[in-house]
Structure 1
Amino acid sequence: MGPITGEDGLARCPWAASTVQMRDYHDQEWGAPVHGEAAYLERMTLEAFQSGLSWAVILAKRPGFRAAFADFDADRIADLDAGDVDRLLGDPGIVRNRRKIEATLTNARATVALREHGGLEQLVLAHTPPVEDAPVTVADWPARTTTSTALAKELKRHGFVFVGPTTMYALMQAIGLVDPHLAGCHRRGSRG
């Protein structure tokens, strides 16, 4: 399936046609570069929580995630402990999955430690692949690439968890390291 033209006359990747929230995320964020440690940690965390779930669920709970994880301030998250994990397991504003909550704390601590080596943003950006041909249909989107596999391996080397190659390719799409938009989508070329 290729792009779908909406009521506004704009062609979009087909998943963006499901809800207004998904359309807005597609049009305003997906595939656009982000900057700063908190932005990278947020996207990495949300992609990890999305694993096995619908992205619509994660977007709906995004304000809850931001509140629960101190707007993705790595220092504040790194200070959370087992009692906080138990508290977060009772928070209906987020996806309540112990392994993913604990992974968020682990990844915040790894983010803080990574500052000695240039930081999270620098590490991720170092894995920017060359510009690729535009996918024509959703079947052309890979689940993972050699670059996302290398990024996952490097993050794991620095103590990150829940950062497999598929999750890291989703991150690369979300933050514009690759241009994920289909040929014909009005957002194609927003990679920056």
Structure 2
Amino acid sequence: ADVGTMCDPKRSCSVIEDDGLPSAFTTAHELGHVFNMPHDNVKACEDVFGKLQENHMMSPTLIQINRTSPWSPCSAAIITEFLDGGHGDCLLDQPQKTLALSDTLPGSSYSLNRQCELAFGEGSKPCPFMQPPCSRLWCTGKSSGHLVCMTRHFPWADGTHCGDGQVCDRGVCSAKHVQHLKVDGRWGKWGLFGSCSRSCGGGVQLSKRECNN
């Protein structure tokens, strides 16, 4: 994907290869580029935020995403600056039709066998004895004509059956429970401003607030 081209009519696009349900993470990563986000390891990010962990959405290599904090502070700062500068105003138009999000978890729609087939092709099956369940999807595949176990380092889909009365939840096999209704939060209080990104001249100070009220 091109970087920062969200409202460019000729370059506002991304190309994503479908390699199973984890393609959703690839899609989010590529959309991040269109919203002007670089990879987390670039010098511009490290100069302001220091060395970032490698488990955020804009890591150069997507392996294991931090579910509680999927986007890095650098990504958050850059998309905020991008939108505040008016570079995403084309998104403010009203959609002709609203697409309702499904209330069912993906694992209840795609069996473990189907998740393997989507990731590694028809005939692929879950590898037995790859424990613990839910944490990482291991599937059968072929390498040099031999049957092997392969992984893309992503967990089983949330909602996948993993035991009696149990389903996967964020990579952990947990007791199945009734889903609670979603309630939109409201803005919490602003936090304290951090230190300035530069000791001289124009710099940046960041303050955060969460939608948790």
- Normalised TM-score (structure 1): 0.27
Q: Which has the larger radius of gyration?
A: 2
TM-score by length of 2: 0.25
Q: Please identify which structure carries the higher helix content.
A: 1
Q: Whose strand fraction is larger, Structure 1's or Structure 2's?
A: 2
